[in-house]
């Protein structure tokens, strides 16, 4: 039943029942699905996917989506668009701006504030995502360590890609970042809101890397393997 | 009407685009005078077209009705152009009006359409054409894309034949009599150029480039080397030479576009006349053609290396990667950029070099330089070479100092 194409309004209860009878597991409904009283319906078009773990089974719809919906705990890249006395407004690709407290940085105090300018990029974690309230961001972990979060360094280039490209790049099966890393020297930050920031020493390399990431979207498994091969073959280095 | 929020641009993207433009590079791998891939598709009805220019996609539909002409121009048909820019989120209201006026003025004021042929009874009945341009996706260069869509639709459109019998109009259906195409006298296409500092400009800007640019210039021109519209906006200081240069490019571009539009319209009409051929948008989607589906980006070439084995000299032709440092590892292997060798002290040295990139003498100053006969004085292409650690690698820099103006005038670019 999984990998079926579904349309909005499509009832998938029968599909779930069919598969679940044998397994008798807890069902978790993920993005793209909505539970009505006795029914489960798709609310966007895409491919129905499922994943089974110990005693539960997760269903979600995999689709092309560019608009980010904030989820608590996810790490995102935001652009600083407004500055207040104690907080900055950050555009993370959601319909509304998110707020990032200036005290939510490592070793930040009321006197010692981080230096944030308009237009800077911040890599932050979503502290709270609520449909009725402003999304709150934070740049420290629960141990008050920065752990890679914070203002991204100057330079580089940020691209916006569909959300699933970012998820794909971060999935353990994807070797693209490593393979490019074996050939080029570059820095990368991938936010789950569909934004990738890349910095490498030369403009030409940045352009090449950026375009490699942009080409990932319409590639299937085989296409990715071809891409890996293409990169490794193209830039062979013989060190004598 | 609720508008979508514009995309915010990080300052790093702005800086990147500005520095890249100085080196004649762009983020999508084009050079400053390259245009994106253009494709045109036609719908089932006459006068319905979709044009995609890179990721910018515009649809144009033409409908007609029979109406009364204006009192001043009693024997001329009417042409109404409407541009729907609601899908584009970056523009303010003023900008939207500016673009709409631009597209409308370019076609109407250049009188490219023979409106008199649309008259049925002078002073009483004329054809009124309604053209609706709908922007489906905005990735920059809307004026050009909209004008292509408009002219493609106009040249594709056919109106039914009419006959007048004793002040009564009879409209013949397409089965009854052959439909009549419109009379298009010339094809005025808009082309936009975006300026960055030091009057550097790029053709066919993407949305990101439009958002960070200093100013822009829109030139409408046709195949007869006539400028139909010219529009400069923004805060950049542009000299006369640059404007003339842009006009030259716009004329070349419109020559290409005129032939392209004529060709695709002809192909589509031929397809319609053959039996069993599929027309309309549905087959385009099935074939996942670049008109309606996301277009396949051409693979970016990082560098083009041509080697010549005459007396151990390496001649490197860098089309894309100018001013990039290359490291030669073996006779047939050339590396680019950092992260290649295992030799960390050389990377540190390299970074120093990057910092003093302005200093042209830096390669000469290095102590271990073996061949120091290359003095970077001449203005032609230079290869300053350095071999170190007993030919482990050689570093080659290429500097292209040809003046931009010369290149532009002598070699009008080939459009892809």
Measured distance CA(A167)–CA(A60) in Å, rounded? 14
Count other Cβ atoms within 10 Å, centred on residue A107: 10
| Residue A138's pLDDT band (cuts 50, 70, 90) | very high
Number of domains in chain A: 3
Domain assignment present for residue A193? The answer is yes
Output the CA torsion B47→B53→B56→B57 (10° steps). Answer: 20
Instruction: Note whether B297 contacts A211, CB cutoff 8 Å.
Output: yes
User: Residue A207: which CATH number?
Assistant: 3.30.1370.10
**pLDDT tens across B274-301, in order?**
877 888 888 888 877 777 776 566 666 6
B238 shares a domain with B382: no
The residue range of the domain holding B267 is 26-286
**Helix segments in B175-239, DSSP class H:** 207-212
Please give, rounded to a whole number of angstroms, the shortest distance from the CA of B212 to a CA of chain A: 12
A108 shares a domain with A50: no
Q: Which of A160, A204, A238 sits opposite B302 (nearest CB)?
A: A204
Q: What is the pLDDT of residue B90?
A: 66
B322 shares a domain with B270: no
Q: Which of A156, A185, A240 sits opposite B339 (nearest CB)?
A: A185
Query: Using CB atoms within 10 A of its CB, is residue B128 exposed (0-12), middle (13-18) or buried (19+)?
Result: middle
A144 shares a domain with A176: no
Instruction: Note whether B329 contacts A156, CB cutoff 8 Å.
Output: no
Q: Computed from CA positions of residues B252, B255, B259, B260, in that sequence, does the dihedral angle turn out positive or negative?
A: positive
ipTM of the complex: 0.88
Please give, rounded to a whole number of angstroms, the shortest distance from the CA of A174 to a CA of chain B: 20
Domain assignment present for residue B240? The answer is yes
Chain B contact for A210 (CB, 8 A cutoff): yes
> Which of A103, A126, A151 marks a domain boundary?
A151
Domain assignment present for residue A70? The answer is no
Q: Which of A158, A200, A237 sits opposite B12 (nearest CB)?
A: A158
Helix or strand or coil: residue A97?
coil
A203 shares a domain with A177: yes
Instruction: Note whether B338 contacts A211, CB cutoff 8 Å.
Output: no
> Which of A101, A126, A151 marks a domain boundary?
A151
B57 shares a domain with B190: yes
pLDDT > 90 in chain A, percent = 31
Please give, rounded to a whole number of angstroms, the shortest distance from the CA of A94 to a CA of chain B: 10
Nearest chain A residue (CA) to B343 = A239
φ, ψ (nearest 5 deg) of residue B109: -75, -20
**pLDDT tens across B85-134, in order?**
776 666 777 777 888 888 888 888 888 888 888 888 888 889 999 999 99
A36 shares a domain with A20: yes
Q: Which of B10, B25, B321 sits opposite A119 (nearest CB)?
A: B10
Q: Give the pLDDT mean for A67-96.
A: 91
A182 shares a domain with A143: no
Domain assignment present for residue B412? The answer is no
Residues A209 and A184 sit within 8 Å (Cβ to Cβ): yes
φ, ψ (nearest 5 deg) of residue B54: 65, -125
Nearest chain B residue (CA) to A202 = B337
Number of domains in chain B: 2
Instruction: Note whether A204 contacts B10, CB cutoff 8 Å.
Output: no
Measured distance CA(A64)–CA(A163) in Å, rounded? 7
**pLDDT tens across B315-373, in order?**
333 343 444 445 444 444 444 443 333 333 333 344 444 444 444 444 444 444 344 44
Measured distance CA(A162)–CA(A177) in Å, rounded? 17
Q: In 3D, which of B120, B121, B104, B100 has the Cα closest to residue B112?
A: B104
B321 shares a domain with B220: no
C-alpha distances (whole Å) from A236 to each of A14, A117, A217, B307 are: 52, 41, 25, 16
Q: Can you list the positions of beta strands (E) in B313-374?
A: 326-330, 333-336
Q: What is the pLDDT of residue A134?
A: 93
φ, ψ (nearest 5 deg) of residue B114: -80, 95
Q: What is the pLDDT of residue A190?
A: 93
Chain B contact for A211 (CB, 8 A cutoff): yes
User: Residue A53: which CATH number?
Assistant: 2.40.50.100
Numbers of helices and strands, H then E, in chain B: 9, 18
Taking contacts as CB-CB distances below 8 angstroms, the residues of chain B near A208 are 300, 302
Instruction: Note whether B25 contacts A201, CB cutoff 8 Å.
Output: no
Q: What is the pLDDT of residue B294?
A: 67
pLDDT > 70 in chain A, percent = 95
B201 shares a domain with B100: yes
Chain B contact for A54 (CB, 8 A cutoff): no
Please give, rounded to a whole number of angstroms, the shortest distance from the CA of A149 to a CA of chain B: 17
B193 shares a domain with B97: yes
Q: Which of A79, A152, A237 sits opposite B8 (nearest CB)?
A: A79
**pLDDT tens across B206-245, in order?**
888 888 888 889 999 988 888 988 988 888 788 888 888 8
> Which of A96, A125, A151 marks a domain boundary?
A151
The residue range of the domain holding A98 is 75-151
Instruction: Note whether B11 contacts A118, CB cutoff 8 Å.
Output: yes
A162 shares a domain with A142: no
B320 shares a domain with B225: no
Helix or strand or coil: residue B32?
coil
B58 shares a domain with B171: yes
User: Residue B256: which CATH number?
Assistant: 3.30.230.70
The conformational region for residue B228 under phi > 0 = left, psi -120 to 50 = alpha, else beta, is alpha
B282 shares a domain with B141: yes
Chain A contact for B18 (CB, 8 A cutoff): no
Domain assignment present for residue B63? The answer is yes
Chain B contact for A155 (CB, 8 A cutoff): yes
B357 shares a domain with B263: no
Instruction: Note whether B23 contacts A203, CB cutoff 8 Å.
Output: yes
Domain assignment present for residue B172? The answer is yes
B314 shares a domain with B258: no
Domain assignment present for residue A131? The answer is yes
Please give, rounded to a whole number of angstroms, the shortest distance from the CA of A52 to a CA of chain B: 33
Residues B47 and B152 sit within 8 Å (Cβ to Cβ): no
Domain assignment present for residue A239? The answer is no
Helix or strand or coil: residue A83?
strand
C-alpha distances (whole Å) from B193 to each of A44, A128, B217, B233 are: 39, 44, 5, 11
Q: Give the pLDDT mean for A60-87.
A: 90
Please give, rounded to a whole number of angstroms, the shortest distance from the CA of B21 to a CA of chain A: 10
**pLDDT tens across A34-63, in order?**
888 888 899 999 888 888 888 888 888 888
**Helix segments in B274-381, DSSP class H:** 281-286, 344-355, 362-365
Domain assignment present for residue B16? The answer is no
Q: In DSSP terms, which residues pair with A109 in a beta bridge?
A: none
pLDDT top residue among B80 and A217: B80
Chain A contact for B22 (CB, 8 A cutoff): no
Angle at A109 between CA A104 and CA A113, to 5 degrees: 75
Domain assignment present for residue A68? The answer is no
A230 shares a domain with A161: yes
B316 shares a domain with B282: no
- Tell me which of A78-92, A146-160, B347-361 is least confident: B347-361
Q: Give the pLDDT mean for B19-46.
A: 86
């Amino acid at each position: 039943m999984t990998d079926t194409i579904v349309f909005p309004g499509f009832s998938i209860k029968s599909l779930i029942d069919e598969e679940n009878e044998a397994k008798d597991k807890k069902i978790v409904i993920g993005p793209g699905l909505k539970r009505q009283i006795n029914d489960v319906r798709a609310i966007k078009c895409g491919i129905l996917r499922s994943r089974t773990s110990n005693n539960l089974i997760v269903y979600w719809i995999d689709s092309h989506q560019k608009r980010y919906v904030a989820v608590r705990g996810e790490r995102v890249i935001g652009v600083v668009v407004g500055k207040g006395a104690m907080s900055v407004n950050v555009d993370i690709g959601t319909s509304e701006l998110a707020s990032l407290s200036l005290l939510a940085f490592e070793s930040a105090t009321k006197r010692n504030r981080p230096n944030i300018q308009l237009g800077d990029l911040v890599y932050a974690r979503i502290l709270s995502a609520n449909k009725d309230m402003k999304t709150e961001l934070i740049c420290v972990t629960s141990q008050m360590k920065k752990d890679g979060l914070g203002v991204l360094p100057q330079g580089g280039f940020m691209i916006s890609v569909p959300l699933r490209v970012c998820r794909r790049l971060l999935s353990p099966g994807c070797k693209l970042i490593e393979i490019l890393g074996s050939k080029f020297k570059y820095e990368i930050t991938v936010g789950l809101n569909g934004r990738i920031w890349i910095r490498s020493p030369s403009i030409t390399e940045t352009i090449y890397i950026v375009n490699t990431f942009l080409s990932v979207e319409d590639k299937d498994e085989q296409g990715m393997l071809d891409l890996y091969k293409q990169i490794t073959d193209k830039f062979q280095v013989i060190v004598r | 009407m609720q508008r979508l929020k514009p995309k915010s641009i990080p300052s790093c993207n702005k800086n990147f685009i500005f520095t890249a433009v100085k080196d004649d590079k762009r983020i999508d791998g084009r050079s400053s005078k390259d245009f994106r891939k253009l494709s045109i598709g036609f719908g089932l009805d006459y006068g319905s077209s979709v044009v995609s220019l890179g990721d910018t996609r515009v649809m144009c539909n033409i409908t007609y009705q029979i109406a009364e002409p204006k009192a001043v121009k009693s024997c001329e048909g009417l042409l109404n152009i409407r541009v729907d820019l609601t899908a584009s989120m970056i523009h303010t209201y003023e900008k939207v009006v500016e673009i709409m006026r631009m597209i409308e003025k370019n076609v109407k004021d250049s009188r490219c359409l023979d409106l008199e042929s649309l008259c049925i009874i002078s002073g009483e009945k004329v054809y009124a054409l309604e053209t609706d341009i709908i922007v489906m996706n905005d990735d920059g260069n809307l004026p050009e894309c909209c004008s292509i869509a408009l002219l493609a639709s106009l040249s594709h459109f056919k109106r039914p034949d009419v006959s007048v019998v004793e002040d009564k109009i009879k409209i013949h259906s397409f089965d009854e009599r052959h439909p009549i195409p419109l009379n298009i006298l010339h094809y005025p296409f808009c082309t936009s150029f975006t300026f960055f500092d030091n009057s550097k400009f790029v053709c066919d800007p993407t949305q990101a480039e439009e958002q960070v640019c200093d100013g822009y210039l829109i030139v409408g021109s046709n195949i007869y080397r006539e400028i139909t519209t010219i529009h400069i906006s923004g805060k950049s200081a542009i000299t006369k030479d640059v404007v003339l240069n842009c006009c030259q490019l716009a004329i070349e571009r419109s020559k290409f576009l005129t032939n392209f539009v004529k060709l695709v319209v002809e192909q589509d009409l031929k397809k319609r006349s053959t039996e069993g051929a599929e027309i309309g948008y549905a087959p385009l989607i099935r074939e996942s053609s670049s008109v309606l589906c996301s277009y396949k980006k051409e693979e970016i070439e990082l560098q083009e290396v041509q080697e010549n084995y005459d007396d151990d000299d390496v001649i490197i032709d860098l089309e894309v990667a100018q001013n990039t440092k290359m490291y030669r590892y073996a006779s047939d292997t050339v590396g680019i950029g950092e992260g290649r060798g295992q030799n960390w002290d050389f990377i540190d040295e390299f970074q120093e070099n990057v910092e003093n990139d302005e200093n042209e003498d830096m390669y000469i100053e290095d102590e271990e330089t073996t061949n120091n006969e290359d003095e970077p004085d001449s203005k032609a292409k230079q290869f300053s070479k350095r071999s170190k650690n007993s030919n482990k690698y050689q570093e080659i820099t290429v500097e292209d100092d040809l003046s931009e103006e010369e290149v532009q005038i002598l070699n009008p670019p080939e459009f892809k």
